[in-house]
Structure 1
């Protein structure tokens, strides 16, 4: 993917891109870990231990959470 000014953007591996897509579908809203787990693990078989699927989902969401915290806040009128 490229930015508007032509800079190539690395959106990470497949599951991380799926997290970004899920977050983009809910702009301005919090997406729970449970929802991420439910949505992500439809595609892949869920690990035998539920805590592992939750940890993996949080790991995939971490870069986007960090980017959101660093982004400038938009002021409402």
Structure 2
């Protein structure tokens, strides 16, 4: 639900998924790294496309890092 909310609020190009299993996150179905696939499965069930899921699982972060690097090199 949080991912849907953020995507609706700021757009798919500005949302990313991350995890921290040091102490648990309290997300039912994603108690540890072995259950990460459950998040992707839920995104598919909610109608997210493969390109959108790629953005959420790191594509957006990599794009921003590339943009930052490009800017830094231009200075």
- TM-score bracket relative to the smaller structure: 0.3 to 0.5
TM-score (norm 2): 0.36
TM-score (norm 1): 0.35
More helix per residue:
2
Q: Which has the higher contact order (CA 8 A, sep 6+)?
A: 2
